[in-house]
Amino acid sequence: MKRSDEWEIVRRNTLMIMQVNIQVDEADVRRAQLLTGINDPEQLLQFVLRRFAQLEAGVQAARMRGIDPNFEVPPRRRPDDPVE
């Protein structure tokens, strides 16, 4: 079995979520590669999409602050206070 055949078997056994053709500015790709140290375009896109989702989740969580009118601030204890 040739090495390329082995690689194809490995690729077939991985979970393929979606295959998409996109057009991206080469300067943006080079900058992202320099900043992340990831040179493989496929890995770079996966990394960037995960990071973007994390960032947006944080933004949405920040927007939700203070919208629950029934929220009560939990009591604060000093470190030397005994636990009840």
The pTM for the full model equals 0.54
Residue 69 has pLDDT above 60, yes or no: yes
pLDDT tens sequence across 25-66:
999 999 999 999 999 998 999 999 999 999 998 888 878 776
How many whole angstroms separate alpha carbon 34 and alpha carbon 25? 15
Percent of the chain whose pLDDT exceeds 90:
37
**The residue to which tokens 């969580």 are assigned:** 61
How many whole angstroms separate alpha carbon 32 and alpha carbon 41? 10
User: What DSSP string describes 11-54?
Assistant: HHTS-----------HHHHHHHHHHH----HHHHHHHHHHHHHH
